[in-house]
Amino acid sequence: MTVIPGGGAPTAPTPDDKWHKSSYSAANGSCVEVAEGKSVLVRDTQNRESGHLTAGASEWTALLAAVRGR
């Protein structure tokens, strides 16, 4: 599944992507990982082989602001 508002091509993960776990991740490994850049990639840490979501950087910023209530 890919989320790219306004169209555009999905971004495939590359070996250069710097994935990091969410700061809200649980100690039991129930978390997501994010790779930020021109596009933002999000994947399930326990199911990496299942793929990822892709969003534009501005859409990711808007999502985080909405979640944080800003």
Which of the four pLDDT bands, split at 50, 70 and 90, describes residue 1? very low
More confident residue, 5 or 43: 43
The rounded distance, in Å, linking the Cα atoms of 66 and 70 is 6
Q: Which residues contact 64 (CB under 8 A, 6 or more apart)?
A: none
Beta bridge partners, 34, equal 20, 42
pLDDT tens sequence across 15-65? 567 888 877 666 666 788 888 888 889 888 888 888 888 888 888 889 889
Q: Which residues contact 29 (CB under 8 A, 6 or more apart)?
A: 45, 46
Q: Tell me which residue has tokens 């971004």.
A: 11
Where do the domains of the chain lie?
31-67
